[in-house]
Structure 1
Amino acid sequence: MAFAHSFPLVLFIFASLSLADKHATSPVPPETFCHSTRDPSYCNNVFANQNGNIHDYGRISFRKSLSQSRKFLSLVDSYLQSSSSFSQPIVRALQDCHFLAELNLEYLSNTFDIVDKTNNVLASSQAEDIQTSLSAVLTNQQTCLDGLETVASNSRVKNDLSLPLSDDTKLHSLSLDIFAKGWMPEKKIATSWARNGRHLNFRNGRLPLKMSERVRAIYDSARGHRGHGRKLLQTGDEEETVLVLDIVIVSQDGSGNFTTINDAIAAAPNNTAASAGYFMIYITEGVYQEYVSIDKKKTYLMLLGDGINRTIITGNQNVVDGSTTFNSATFGKP
């Protein structure tokens, strides 16, 4: 199964600060603050002639990230407006970059709205959501560049966009770094797994799921009919369980609710809350020749298959045949 680069495939581990440093409220010069960042020299350049605490520097960084994201989106727009002079592969790569740039602007805007209003450490679930979004911003930058390099290796489009992509990525990385230091809970790192259902926690090959008798009966029927599939783990520890709101079955033989994964995703509710639980899509054994794209409105989806080499999602789009790097993935979530 291939995955689109529009969501974070790479998570980051950040240098930690002492509790006193992390929550410092006294202004300090950039050289004092920047020594603990990933690129102290770059950090000092960004905050030249500034003086503040970690939250002040964070807000400055996010303002700059937002400003640069808007500029980059405008730059891509300007190229698309004159797209008649470009080949179709270049136009499609620019369209991917435009889509990804819009996502980045949304992620950064949402983050700034939150960090601009508080100096307090955020709740774990909220902080991890933001950290995931900011990691996605970096991945989207690289995805845009990869697409341009694949179809426009010698074009002025790639040459004109690669420098701002590189510079902006450094800035967005700094913003992510500061967010982790200023607003993430103490001792929290990017690779940790939350216990509140925000991330799924396999234990001994089993999922600790909590569901109604009706949902459990449907799941057990789908799994038991074939004699395999992921097992559930009954547990009395409420903090370890993941709530499942509802379930639908995808089966190519017509025995389930849907015969395609995309139809099942389309039927899922929009913009659900974490407290409601996950909408489970159980995909039975088979080879599904689909390009699955999960809209950002489809929150808290859980897709489970019958197992390795049993449930397979595949496709044959590639750059040689005219697709872009971004759209060649069989599975993606913006």
Structure 2
Amino acid sequence: MTVRLSVLDQSPVTEGSTPSAALAATVRLARDLDGLGVTRYWLAEHHNSPGFAGTAPEILAATLLAVTRHLRVGSGGVLLPRYDPVKVAETFRVLSGLYPHRVDLGVGRAGGPAQRFPEQVVRLLHALGVPPALEGLPGAASPPVMPSGTVAPQVWLLGAGTTSATLAAQLGTAFGFAHFLNPEPGREALGRYLRGFTAPSGAPSPRGALAVRVLTADTMAKVQALVSAVLLWRSRKDLGQDAPLPSPETVRRHRWTGDELRQAAVAKRTLVFGTPEQVGEQLTKLAAAHGVEELIVNTPTHDPADRLRSYRLLAETLAIRPPAEAAQVTSLPSVPRPPKPRPESLLP
């Protein structure tokens, strides 16, 4: 099965570094991945967190669109309950006017009262000039915010359950499921979306994707180090300690508590990790099991170079091909493979 590879970047702040450095790393990573054959590059929205620098994905998207040529760029996603839907539409129609056919608008229900989310999405679609497939849902129609000749951004609803999947199917938008947050309902959510999709004008078929947290490297020892850092960061976060991604030295010195180990065991089930071949096989099976042809991969690492290397190895393993005009400058080097490792626990 051939899958498309995309990226979800949360602009992680790392121990010993700064939010400004995290944003700069996001810009460098997008520039390095442009032309590699990656389909889209999404920026997350987080607030009041010392571990994430990206609070305004529309600002980052504008920056990345200006320094790349091939990637679709957008939000993964705008937390719509925080905002006026018409203002969100205005912002992304301007981006799409500047960079036609390259802008994605992913929206999520988090960040405020969720009961008005369906109404907000309907208003958003009307304001973008792409009325929903199923009329009659709450939400007053808004006039398009830019002339009809402007290309509208591609709209995605994002979620970790079945509610947004059902709404996306009714409205005829694309849908992305956050496997890295909550793997269990993924098959049901995407199944509901794919079976219930109502085609709007100009979008005759559903478009689904699976967002997965993935870590790979040249050696299994390196993979173990990357996974241990993510598990320590995630277990601390789940226990109420929201902190930057720990350094390798901090992870090596750390004495795990019983609570941390229990949380890490839960978090480990949300990860896909291993050698490039192992990860490629797991991802291909995941995509097939969920009925999607696109994987949106999130890879948090302390060193941005490890993040780039993980994506390059993944692209090579999944046989992702660069656009023809970029092939000469983005060809991937041959990577020697270490012997297949014996299974080992990645928890201390």
Task: Provide TM-score, normalisation by structure 1.
Answer: 0.25
Q: Normalized per residue, which structure has more helix?
A: 1
Name the larger-Rg structure.
1
Task: Provide TM-score, normalisation by structure 2.
Answer: 0.24
